Amino acid sequence: MKGVKLSRDRDGRLCVERFAMWRRVEHVITIIVFSTLVLTGFPQKFYDTAWAATLIELFGGLNDARVIHRVAGITFSILLGLHIAVFVGGVITKRMRMSLVPTPQDLRDAWQNLRFYFGLREKQPRMPKFDYRQKFEYIGMVMGSLVMVATGVFLMWPVETAGVVGGEALAASRIAHSNEAVLALLVIVVWHIYSAVLAPDVFPLDKTMITGKMTVEELKHRHAIEYDRIFPAGEPVDELAAAEGAPAEGTPEPEPKGDGPVGPTS
């Protein structure tokens, strides 16, 4: 259990830290930037609709909306670059596990989970720290972000881009940038919102990315393989209680010493 941070929530339940503070801050910034890109980009794609004209006016007109979109795009590019750099650096220094990289086991987990949903299996498969659905969404986000950044750079400097890669690449970039934006929004609305808000296991909201914590019982239920890795002996030992001098969770109370029962003190 080395390196794992334990704490208690407001209800006194033992929790494991799942996301560090900087990851949660990164998530909030990404939400803000992504929302800004959608609100300033989609009106330009659907410029002939009434709602698009209204949104454009809210941002001060087309020119201002384009400036805001480009600033948000540059910010998003920096966030993506930092995210990849931290990941690569963490893997090289062995301070970070590649727990979000898909493996062949994820295909087996997906198949076994499908069999469970159709009643052909009694229990769901045991999942690692991030299950196959979370890995698929993460890889899709990273790959889609790379496409958006690359095509966005091409569109921001069209003359220079056309001179290097040709006009055909510029036209392809416009189509790819526009369609990938629609796909990204659909993934967020349909897939991510469901898994983080509407899924039966987390409804009405998965607060893990907000608090950074997950209860030990929830970890055992949703990510059993990660639970076994953190608590190889089985039941977790409550280090918080041990540090405070109280019996650890699952530890029997010591019998009082003396010749007879200990009564109340005056």
Look at the chain and count its residues: 266
Mean pLDDT, range 97-120, rounded to an integer:
96
d(CA 245, CA 24): 32
pLDDT at 24 over 90: yes
Look over the chain and give the mean of its residue pLDDT values, rounded to a whole number. 89
d(CA 37, CA 180): 12
pLDDT at 66 over 50: yes
d(CA 230, CA 216): 10
Q: Is the peptide bond before 204 cis (omega within 30 degrees of 0)?
A: yes
Q: Give the Cβ contact number of residue 35 at 10 Å.
A: 12
CB-CB contact of 146 with 80 (8 Å): yes
Percent over 90 (pLDDT), the chain: 78
Q: What is the pLDDT of residue 262?
A: 39
CB-CB contact of 48 with 117 (8 Å): no
Q: What is the pLDDT of residue 55?
A: 96
- Read off the pTM: 0.85
Mean pLDDT, range 73-94, rounded to an integer:
96
d(CA 229, CA 102): 18
Mean pLDDT, range 145-172, rounded to an integer:
92
Mean pLDDT, range 9-26, rounded to an integer:
94
Q: What is the pLDDT of residue 241?
A: 58
Closest by Cα among 105, 190, 175 to 140? 190
Closest by Cα among 132, 143, 124, 126 to 191? 132
pLDDT band for position 256 (cuts 50, 70, 90): very low
Q: What is the pLDDT of residue 235?
A: 78
CB-CB contact of 109 with 156 (8 Å): no
Sign of CA dihedral 156, 158, 160, 166: positive
Q: What is the pLDDT of residue 99?
A: 94
Looking from the CA of 134 toward its CB, the CA atoms found within 13 Å total 10
- Residue 16 parent element (H or E): strand 14-17
pLDDT band for position 186 (cuts 50, 70, 90): very high
Percent over 70 (pLDDT), the chain: 88
